[in-house]
């Protein structure tokens, strides 16, 4: 099916675009009253994920209601550990909780490969429904958590400011740590390929807790497993978003991914030199959307000016906060959609890359 709006994919492939595409992490969420209505019908967050028709409905809402350039399937990164044997609960106003954790090699005996029938089927069916209902209007983003982030939850058992339990495993038991990371990676690749087969046009890998590791540990316990995922996903572009990993942008830039997501603490100007040939995504501070409308517009335009023309997917530097005014989110999206590149800007960027021996879309 030919996409009517393929801006996101064109940027990821290194093709020319007339303006930056825009979507928002957590764009299907509580800042939309329409989402809250569906969520109330579902009764719980996990129940919403478990009902493909409802998950599909909230996936499409931001496309219809605020005009973003892509949909992202409504699911959760923690459906994966549940699929391999470690169940979790989503506690209202507190977040995820695992009644049982894995912290030793013997604990891993309780885990198993993804089975033919699992909780992942709900998300895969939601992808199929969304693709049918979108009917080619915009691309659909599939996603998974990065191995290190999933490792954090499976060993810690819940969210944490420090993830000291997870980090201690790296120092105290490297064999366990690498074994679990390998298990997560293998399952993630399988799951992402299932999403692509169901209809996902592009994949994002969320390394939400990358920032709790220093560069040395990130290079040993995160990068090799991200590399395996990027090398395995060849049919669609891949976005890697490692929140807080400003110390490792050059390492992420060596991965076979097409787009690097940036949080709001990273200055965009230096990033192209650290990750040549990549496109970038982000990175407005979500809190900027609490400002008055004039400042929101100014901050958005400043962000757009910081990135190389034609190599930027506009987004926030993290997910939308649930109490953000809907009108502010709409203004952010509209400001990006009204921004255009001039032919000279795009030609200048082409020349810059040719001089550096790199071409758009080069692997």
Task: Give me the active site residues, please.
Answer: 26, 30, 39, 76, 153
What is the C-alpha to C-alpha distance for residues 278 and 320, in angstroms, rounded to an integer?
25
Nearest of 30, 83, 73, 27 to residue 52 by alpha carbon = 73
What does the block give as tokens for 47?
């129940």
Cβ contact 4:136 at 8 Å: yes
CA 206 from centroid of its chain's CA atoms? 4
Nearest of 262, 360, 272, 270 to residue 25 by alpha carbon = 262
Say whether 260 sits in a helix, a strand or coil: strand
Strands 95-97 and 89-91: antiparallel
Q: Is the dihedral of CA 297, 299, 305, 309 positive or negative?
A: negative
| Cross-strand partners of 281 | 261, 313
């Amino acid at each position: 099916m030919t996409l009517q709006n393929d801006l996101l994919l064109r940027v990821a492939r290194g093709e020319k675009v007339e303006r930056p595409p825009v979507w928002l992490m957590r764009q299907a969420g509580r800042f939309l009253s329409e989402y809250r209505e569906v969520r109330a019908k579902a009764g719980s967050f996990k129940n919403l994920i478990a009902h493909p028709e409802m998950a599909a409905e909230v996936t499409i809402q931001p496309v219809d209601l605020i005009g973003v350039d892509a949909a992202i399937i409504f699911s959760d990164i923690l459906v994966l550990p549940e699929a391999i044997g470690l169940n979790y609960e989503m506690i209202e106003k507190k977040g995820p909780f695992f009644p049982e954790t894995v912290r030793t090699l013997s604990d891993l005996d309780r885990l198993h490969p993804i089975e033919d029938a699992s909780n992942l089927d709900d998300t895969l069916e939601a992808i199929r429904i969304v693709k049918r209902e979108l009917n080619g209007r915009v691309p659909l983003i599939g996603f998974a958590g990065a191995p290190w982030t999933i490792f954090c939850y499976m060993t810690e058992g819940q969210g944490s400011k420090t993830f000291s339990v997870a980090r201690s495993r790296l120092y105290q038991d490297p064999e366990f740590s690498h074994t679990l990371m390998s298990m997560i990676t293998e399952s993630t690749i399988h799951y992402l390929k299932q999403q692509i087969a169901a209809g996902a046009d592009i994949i994002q890998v969320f390394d939400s807790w990358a920032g709790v590791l220093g560069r040395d540990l990130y290079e040993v316990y995160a990068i090799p497993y991200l590399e395996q995922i990027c090398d395995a996903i060849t049919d669609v572009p891949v976005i890697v978003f490692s929140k807080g990993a400003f110390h490792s942008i050059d390492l992420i830039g060596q991965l076979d991914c097409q787009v690097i997501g940036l949080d709001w603490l990273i200055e965009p100007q230096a990033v192209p030199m650290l990750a040549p040939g990549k496109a970038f995504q982000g990175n407005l501070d979500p809190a900027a959307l609490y400002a008055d409308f004039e400042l929101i517009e100014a901050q958005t335009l400043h962000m757009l000016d910081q990135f190389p023309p034609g190599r930027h997917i506009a987004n926030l530097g993290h997910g939308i906060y649930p109490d953000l005014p809907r009108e502010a989110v709409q203004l952010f999206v509209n400001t990006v959609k009204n921004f255009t590149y001039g032919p000279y800007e795009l030609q200048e960027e082409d020349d810059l890359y040719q001089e550096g021996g790199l071409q758009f879309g080069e692997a």
